[in-house]
Structure 1
């Protein structure tokens, strides 16, 4: 249960506690994921798009629905999905998830079991060897295996040379079919170039062929969803690579969002002599412009 503080109408009144039930929060996270996949359109733009489908919603109400403060009406939730390019299957999933949220129930996870971030954090993390890259201050990679998930967490600055050192250990993670679902946590990364994104897309294609999934955690601090999400939007990888704000959200149930777009054919960034791979798909982005640090471009 998420607890939020909200000021009441009187200036001298104490802070009121507003409780956000977990099912409603889960539904809001799913809607926010759809919005990110659509390129993070503004609330005003979403309202305009929804009006084209005959659904009128105040911007404040839409914002509350995307943050979990309230549960959007079903017709508004479906219109939001449609405004973000969702097909009939995604709208049907929206209705199912909305019904569960209204009834106060959470969807099941891909393995029909309930695994929380607290469970994962209680599992000891393993340092993955990176060779000479460990000489860089703050650069490390941790692996937390927790059936059926493997959580890979990167710390520090990651360029193509660090990514090459990561590859042997990451290949072993991909080869572990006992734990087919993989989460890559980028919330502690302070710099990454496009070799990281290319490597993740390369891994995603391998996992899709097995019916497994790969998800990315951006974090909610200053190195947050807005920053990781922005570089992914600029490089046009959001239609393929699911990005979640927290580990809790990344452990959510499997969604049609995972398979909306086929993964494009890309060269292996580690076997190639190129510093980063170029993605080919519906759009042809310039991946070489997609680096970011703690102060990414506005």
Structure 2
């Protein structure tokens, strides 16, 4: 049985770290979840990520249950046909987002809600590429999804109010807190988080202090659970660069990526996933 207010049948497009985390979060609350990936190899990897995540939750005290019995991983968009909610979680590339959302929408029932996990792109602009913009909104999950207590619910210009209220209920049923924002570049979380991180990078670049000391200043002085540079490593420097470039195009030069960020991405220093970013993760 699913938690009250939670959709019974959920779809996730993309089974990378975020998509797998989203699937995990819904599975352990009792939802039936379909993950769709681009090919068989990606689908196998996605299943492995979800299974590993659920196993870790069980080790940490999640009550025993047949959670994975409700997981289906497919390469066929038609698997979304009976879903009440589908969350898109593909990389932050405009053309890819639009093509993916359109492909999902073609297979959805008339009452299904389609959401994007975008961390910065305009929900209204994405909705403008769809046939049913009133059925579309942003659900910005945070990494790691199962442990995070926040979901940013982003309202597009045409999003139906009933779906906004439903999204609040879904968020709470997942054991998380909804923050509802109107569509704007970077929403609330990415805009503020990236602004702090970019300034921290400039401080490293200018030799103001080490990455460790800058992070400690924010953790110890402002009670941030993780410093802005370590957070950047966890998110991925390439992801932060893409968001910064998008925000610069929409909001101006205050979001211009520092050269140190461009250099690290060019060198393959992407943070935790590559073993090195502003910190050594090896």
Q: TM-score range by the shorter chain?
A: under 0.3
Structure of greater Rg: 1
Q: Which has the higher helix share?
A: 2
Please give the TM-score of this superposition, normalised by the length of structure 2.
Answer: 0.28
Please give the TM-score of this superposition, normalised by the length of structure 1.
Answer: 0.27
